[in-house]
Structure 1
Amino acid sequence: MKRLLPGLWVIIVISLFVVFFQLGYVPLIDPDEPVYAETPLEMLQTHDWISPRIYGEFWYDKPPLYYWFVATSFSIFGRSDFAARLPSALMATFTAILVYQAGVRLFDRRVGLFSGLILVTSFEFFYIAKGAVTDMTLTFCLTAALLAFLFKRYTWIYVFAALATVAKGPIGLAFPGIIILLYLAAGKRWSFLREMKVPQGIVLYLVIAAPWYGIMTYYHGSDFINTFIGFHNITRFTTPEHPEGVLWYYYLPVVIIGFFPWTAVLVQSVKASLYTYGQTFAKLQFLNIWAFFILLFFTMSQTKLVSYILPMYPPMALIIGWYLSRLWENRLRGKYLSWPITATLLFGGFISALVWAGQKYPEISLGITLAVGLLLVCLIGVWYAYRHRDVTSMIYVQVAAMVVFSALFVTLLIGPLAANLSCLGISKEFVQHYDGQTPVYVAKFLRPGFAYYSRVYGKELKTPADMNEAFVQPKAYLVLKQDDLDILPMECKQQLVLVAQSADKLLMLKQ
């Protein structure tokens, strides 16, 4: 324990600041966050913690672990945006601690410290850590299961694989199982299987993971199996839910931007890890298999989302942490120009994206100015430290910049856009005008947030038939985005009266 303590508090303090700073400042962002807040809220209202519901109907999209966490958070802290995001933030902090601990045990204290800092200050990691979504819970469980294998704590593999299965589904078992098997096959290490006590482990896994699936199958039968297993796992893997994302290189820019600023040393780190030797090679080989398998799996998947590859970030952080520790030991001998040069290109691209966003959204101009200045100062600091062959300063200047950027991002970049991103504003307007009886119709994209904030479910406007139904009513409220209104026929627009508006969200009355 003493070996872990010196850097552990650094990781905890920085993680808590980056992840928890203004956690509830921005309302839940449409459409995903409100889904993962509304469902646990309905669990509490119905006193049914087994069958997830949304809009009063059974919901088979995800297993219940994250819903249970959020429902517990609501029970303790009350319904709030902070409470909805709290479980994800805690999982992120625990994951950073796990990565630090792994770096110390697999290599040394310096690798542990570097790896933990790299993980928690990578852009996508702290962004998703602040979101009420399931991805961070899955990432924590998979990280714990796979590191348990490396630490030879085999019982915990099955425990955390089971929890991952209750968090996200079959990949909770498939990912650790396949990654471990690939590693064993790569080094012909099949004797490990005897140590892992696989039959007993499978029993333990089933004791934890199977009950919820068994109960759901008993109560809901083929509806649950066909929807959860058939659609949300098999169909979404083989058929694109978002056709515009079916690109083989989809995750290349996601990794470049998502792991910013540490992608500046990612390629060099992986290359170096493949050319080491001995026990260090075996450890790094496992980390590489872990990261590349997740990247390959979701590249093959037809449905792609930015957050899917989050579980590859912990092994990437460990590989980069190991590499940067090697640079520290060598005092940058050989002049590793690739780091500051690549950083310059990445920072230039990131700054260009920020400037473009500032032109599109003038309300965040102050945040853009400060963020661009911060990144330029960081880049100058990287070059200055490189010139003096000070690897530690090169690392810490990027860590410090991302810690500050994480605060700017929430308060001055996302905060001013809250009305564009959330249904909170239009929901408040609706509550003030609603008579409690008039039918309500809500655009599909807005429905989760509208239901969560207004406590009125409404009927989803998903098909032309739904829209026709709304317009045959003598009187009805419609909650739409401006784009939805623009495509309506003129004869429909003429029947609508604007009641209230919040950014691009409209409350219309059909009369």
Structure 2
Amino acid sequence: MMDTFACLPTFTRRHARLATWLLVLLALLVLGLGIGLRDPWPADEPRFALNALEMVTTGEFWLPHRGGELYPDKPPLFMWATALSIAVTGSVRAGFLLPSLFAALGTLALVMDLLRRLHGRRIALFGGVALLASLQFTLQAKTAQIDMLLTFFTTLGAYGLLRHALLGPAWRWWRAGWAAMGLGILTKGVGFLPLALLPAWYWLSRDGRLTPLRFRELLVGMGIMLAVIALWGLPMIVMTTLGDDPSLAAYRDNILFKQTGERYANAWHHIKPWYYYPLQVLPWAWMPLTLALPWAVPAWWRRIERRDARYILPLSAMVLIIAFFSLSAGKRGVYMLPTIPLLVLVMTPLLPGLWRQRGLQRLGAATLVLLGGILLAAGTLGSLGLPTLQALAERHDLSPWAWWITLGVVAFALLGWFKPRRGLLALTLWLAVFWVLWSTWGYGLMDATRSPNAMMQRLAAITGPDAWLALPAFDEEFLLHSRQPSVHFGSHTPIESQLERAYAWLQQAPDTRWMLIDQGHRDDLACVMLDEARDLGFQNNETWWLIPGTAVVDCQGDEDAAPLFVAPTSLPASRLAVVANDG
């Protein structure tokens, strides 16, 4: 196996084409397996699925809503893609993961094509495998969050700029790259990340090594990006400015200012230290490519000294992107996803040499021993009844021991077969096995724990399908799986005000109205007869009560409070509305 890289240059074009198709089939298996086998899981998936389902149900696409309430935290492009997938498949389960799948496949195609043009077919194939093996890339490809679609657009933007810089002039790709950045901004505000390529490009272009970077072309590109943004942004501004509803103006200000500049400069959540990305995120997010960094960094430095733009441009962009996100106090690990295609572009050409490094192979073997050993030990101890693990399993109604033991056994079996001298290969194959088992066995085990679908079915059986349900302090997954008419009281409304509204609403028709609330709010339920509450058990990290309207006594609800919001997923289109407290 150590001679594999030496043999691959003898590939004919036909062999390369066959290998490419086999890689495509592998990508479809690894990335697509499991679609339709699980519901959306928190934290973000139920929210975007609910946004998309409401678009399909109500026909209101321009301004996303969540439970009948405007959702101002993100632009709508990802929700549009999810709504289209749900509409085409006719199912949330079948459709909600498709945008991430197609975005991942598109990113894979772009990376492989650019590697082929810069370094040849052999390196392009290695690049495809390296991208699929990257832990965060495959994780996000199998997750219905915005970031995989954002990464596709940032990769397309980088592809267009790099095609023009390194292989150009290529004006069509230059323009396509700027248009992709505009679409990326309409997906998640940081779609401009490919602009991190420009400083090094300007530096290298001064001595004629690259296509010149001229101010006029930059203005044209900027105009294209702004024009794409304006396709949605201008109508949105007009609609929210001229409308009489103050919530429209709040939506405009939130999406234009709070979720962009304020979120970056004055973050209010996900606060992490400055070293969060390099020390806590990238070591696992870039795995297994992280293992090669001790050998890759000196090789990169030699290419930087030779002023090789194929390496300098992606490397400089990676460093600037990491620095950009590190400067903000608010940090999430998923923000590093757009760096992975850039890493693959600069790491893959080194792989033929790196593969022969005994130290790297043994490091891969040691990593596999660590991962397999942890899973095998945890699975064995859990199956033997270790109290700590058993208590955790009982709390979540989950017994993953056989799953973990299988993954541990596979790890050591692969290592025994390939030996430590091929440890990196064993680790890569184990990751493929992990994703296959995660997407089948893992989904089956975890879906009931992470999705309240079964609990909401039990709830509807208790109340009857026509009874109305109040959801104070609601989470999107409960609205998404509601089997009956449901209302809530504003996602950012203080819990005290929500409960005042809920009490008034429940007392208007106590025999046909119910409230679902987690037991952590026990102290806020002073005027509720809790002995009448139904304990629905533990779900989504909380224990839940179902409270009938008849259990609310001596409560002075605020009948003049803000409107209730009807959850569109529970009602036919003719009954969708924002309704007042009079029911």
TM interval, shorter chain, is 0.7 to 0.9
- Return the alpha-carbon distance in structure 2 between the equivalents of residues 351 and 123 of structure 1: 19
Tell me by how many angstroms 1:314 deviates: 0.8
Residue in structure 1 matching 2:536, options 500, 504, 509: 500
Kindly indicate whether the alpha-carbon contact (under 8 Å) linking 1:30 and 1:423 is maintained by their aligned counterparts in 2.
no
Q: For structure 1, which segment, 102-111 or 341-350, has the greater mean C-alpha deviation from structure 2 after superposition?
A: 341-350
The letter of the residue matching 2:323 is L
Q: For structure 1, which segment, 65-74 or 260-269, has the greater mean C-alpha deviation from structure 2 after superposition?
A: 260-269
In the other structure, the counterpart of 2:573 is none
Secondary structure class of the residue paired with 1:302: coil
- Return the alpha-carbon distance in structure 1 between the equivalents of residues 418 and 472 of structure 2: 50
- Return the alpha-carbon distance in structure 1 between the equivalents of residues 352 and 215 of structure 2: 32
Deviations 1:384-408 (A, max 9, x none): 434xxxxxxx554333221111011
In the other structure, the counterpart of 2:426 is 397
Residue 157 of structure 2 corresponds to residue 145 of structure 1? yes
In the other structure, the counterpart of 2:471 is 441
Unpaired segments ≥5 residues, structure 2: 1-11, 165-172, 242-248, 383-388, 552-583
Secondary structure class of the residue paired with 1:274: helix
Structure 1 residues 16 and 300, CA gap change in structure 2 (3 angstroms): same
In the other structure, the counterpart of 2:109 is 97
- Return the alpha-carbon distance in structure 1 between the equivalents of residues 546 and 21 of structure 2: 53
Residue in structure 1 matching 2:499, options 461, 467, 474: 467
Tell me by how many angstroms 1:425 deviates: 2.0
In the other structure, the counterpart of 1:479 is 516
The letter of the residue matching 1:66 is F
Residue in structure 1 matching 2:232, options 212, 229, 235: 212
Residue 279 of structure 2 corresponds to residue 248 of structure 1? no
Secondary structure class of the residue paired with 1:506: strand
Number of equivalences: 493
Kindly indicate whether the alpha-carbon contact (under 8 Å) linking 2:182 and 2:225 is maintained by their aligned counterparts in 1.
yes
Identity percentage over the alignment?
22
Residue in structure 2 matching 1:311, options 338, 343, 352: 338
- Return the alpha-carbon distance in structure 1 between the equivalents of residues 106 and 531 of structure 2: 54
Q: For structure 1, which segment, 136-145 or 112-121, has the greater mean C-alpha deviation from structure 2 after superposition?
A: 112-121
Structure 1 residues 181 and 223, CA gap change in structure 2 (3 angstroms): farther
- Larger RCO: 1 or 2 (CA < 8 Å, sep 6+): 1
Q: For structure 1, which segment, 133-142 or 59-68, has the greater mean C-alpha deviation from structure 2 after superposition?
A: 59-68
Residue 217 of structure 2 corresponds to residue 197 of structure 1? yes
- Return the alpha-carbon distance in structure 2 between the equivalents of residues 49 and 34 of structure 1: 18
Deviations 1:56-98 (A, max 9, x none): 1222221121112111112211022220111111111111121
Residue in structure 2 matching 1:282, options 302, 309, 326: 309
Tell me by how many angstroms 1:424 deviates: 1.6
TM-score by length of 2: 0.77
In the other structure, the counterpart of 2:118 is 106
Kindly indicate whether the alpha-carbon contact (under 8 Å) linking 2:135 and 2:288 is maintained by their aligned counterparts in 1.
yes
In the other structure, the counterpart of 1:337 is 359
The letter of the residue matching 1:97 is A
Secondary structure class of the residue paired with 1:443: coil
- Return the alpha-carbon distance in structure 1 between the equivalents of residues 538 and 404 of structure 2: 23
Kindly indicate whether the alpha-carbon contact (under 8 Å) linking 1:371 and 1:405 is maintained by their aligned counterparts in 2.
yes
Kindly indicate whether the alpha-carbon contact (under 8 Å) linking 1:28 and 1:81 is maintained by their aligned counterparts in 2.
yes
Residue in structure 1 matching 2:482, options 436, 454, 457: 454
- Return the alpha-carbon distance in structure 2 between the equivalents of residues 313 and 93 of structure 1: 14
Compute the RMSD of aligned alpha carbons.
3.0
Residue 29 of structure 2 corresponds to residue 25 of structure 1? no
- Return the alpha-carbon distance in structure 1 between the equivalents of residues 276 and 523 of structure 2: 30
Tell me by how many angstroms 1:310 deviates: 0.6
- Tell which structure's C-alpha radius of gyration is larger: 2
Residue in structure 1 matching 2:148, options 101, 123, 136: 136
Unpaired segments ≥5 residues, structure 1: 387-393
The letter of the residue matching 1:497 is A
Deviations 1:9-38 (A, max 9, x none): 133111101111012212110231011111
Tell me by how many angstroms 1:249 deviates: 2.6
- More helix, by proportion: 1
Residue in structure 2 matching 1:154, options 174, 178, 183: 174
Kindly indicate whether the alpha-carbon contact (under 8 Å) linking 1:38 and 1:54 is maintained by their aligned counterparts in 2.
yes
Residue 413 of structure 2 corresponds to residue 377 of structure 1? yes
In the other structure, the counterpart of 2:196 is 178
The letter of the residue matching 1:231 is K
- Return the alpha-carbon distance in structure 2 between the equivalents of residues 289 and 299 of structure 1: 15
TM-score by length of 1: 0.87
Q: For structure 1, which segment, 106-115 or 177-186, has the greater mean C-alpha deviation from structure 2 after superposition?
A: 177-186
Secondary structure class of the residue paired with 2:351: helix
